[in-house]
Amino acid sequence: MPNLAAAVIAGAVVAIMPAAPSKPASSLRLTLDHPDRGTSRSVTLLCEPPGGGHPEAVRACSELSGSGGRIAHAPDGRMCTAIHSPVTARAKGHWRGEPVRFHTEYGNDCAMRSRTGTVFAF
């Protein structure tokens, strides 16, 4: 009987212990608008674990994690043409519990990807 009492007490202690803190969920709704083409596309990017409708979710989440959640960065050095084909990139949601709102227009897709990596590669 003492073993039963010890097991009950141990179970009760485990049941009332707070759960280990986990990373807040990250979910971003990403949208690309091409006004000169009259097109718009959107996907959801989930991180922790990576998923959603983004075709490069693992890589995009890794890039965001490495930048502390910042979407835009300095150009990555790729050579882009000077063809003007504007694209508006938008992101709205949460990154590790913090609200995210991003809205920037780029001269073309290449210029956008140079500054945003795979986040908007969909």
Q: How confident is the model at residue 14 (pLDDT cuts 50, 70, 90)?
A: very low
Does residue 14 form part of some domain? Answer: no
Is residue 3 pLDDT above 80, yes or no? no
The CATH number linked to 83 is 3.30.350.10
* Domain-located, residue 10: no
Backbone phi and psi for residue 15, each to the nearest 5 degrees, phi listed first: -65, -30
Domain annotation covers residue 92? yes
Structural domain harbouring 108: 23-116
Question: What is the pTM for the complete model shown?
Answer: 0.79
pLDDT digits (tens, 9 = 90+) for 76-111: 999 999 999 999 999 999 999 999 999 999 999 999
- Summarised one tens digit per residue, pLDDT across range 32-60 is 999 999 999 999 999 999 999 999 999 99
d(C-alpha 30, C-alpha 64), whole Å: 13
